[in-house]
Amino acid sequence: MSLSTTTGFRLLPGRLSPEAQSQLLAQVLAGAEQAPFVHQVTPGGKPMSVAMTSFGPLGWTTDARGYRYEPRHPSTGQPWPDIPQVLLDLWSELADPQVPPDACLINFYDARAKMALHQDRDEADFQFPVLSVSLGDTAVFRIGGLRRSDPTHSMKLSSGDVCLLAGEARLLHHGVDRILAGSSRLIPGGGRINLTLRRARPAQ
């Protein structure tokens, strides 16, 4: 399956205005005071180069026990902050107007961080899309097929871009090869924040 023949992949460049980006960034930074960014460790014991936190009833977690969703921050033991309304509105408009997301994974990439090709498979029901919002420095995003060995295609994701993986595209392998440092002035000190909305639990 190639990206050109796959239905369910959408890239919406500049979907968030500069003002909306600034407002969302402020909400992310405020949330990170309650639920700090953490470099989590893979089940194999390798620290991730990307720092993570979450919004919503559930947050994505990785440690020696594996990949999973948890209702509390792994370091503070406190519940995750609420998902900002602007993200809930985007989900309702672009993903699913009936069933809301229950998790929003937030990744912070500095100039050296990257994300290997992977599938988002820790959710209970793959009928629900994955909706991604980019803030800050541009990322070189790579997307492939259902098999890790399938051909891949690279594209740039800039601040304010929104990307949807739904339908046939829901389980495509994807990752971030590198960050183009200095390509945005949105985040103080630089870097990229990616917010990924998911439905982790089955619909009630």
Domain 3-198 has CATH 1.10.3720.10: no
The pTM assigned to this predicted structure is 0.94
- What separation in angstroms does the CA of 137 have from each of 27, 92, 141, 178? 18, 26, 12, 10
The three-state secondary structure class of 174 is: strand
Give the list of residues 6+ apart from residue 141 with CB closer than 8 angstroms, or none.
154, 155, 156, 157, 163, 174, 175, 176, 177
What letter would DSSP give residue 74? T
Residue pLDDT tens, the chain, 204 long? 445 456 899 999 999 999 999 999 999 999 999 999 999 999 999 999 999 999 999 999 999 999 999 999 999 999 999 999 999 999 999 999 999 999 999 999 999 999 999 999 999 999 999 999 999 999 999 999 999 999 999 999 999 999 999 999 999 999 999 999 999 999 999 999 999 999 999 987
What is residue 7's predicted lDDT score, i.e. its pLDDT? Answer: 81
- Quote the Cα angle for 50-52-56, to 5°: 150
What is residue 1's predicted lDDT score, i.e. its pLDDT? Answer: 46
Q: How far apart are CA 89 and CA 201, in angstroms?
A: 19
- What residues pair up with 143 in beta bridges, in sequence order? 153, 174
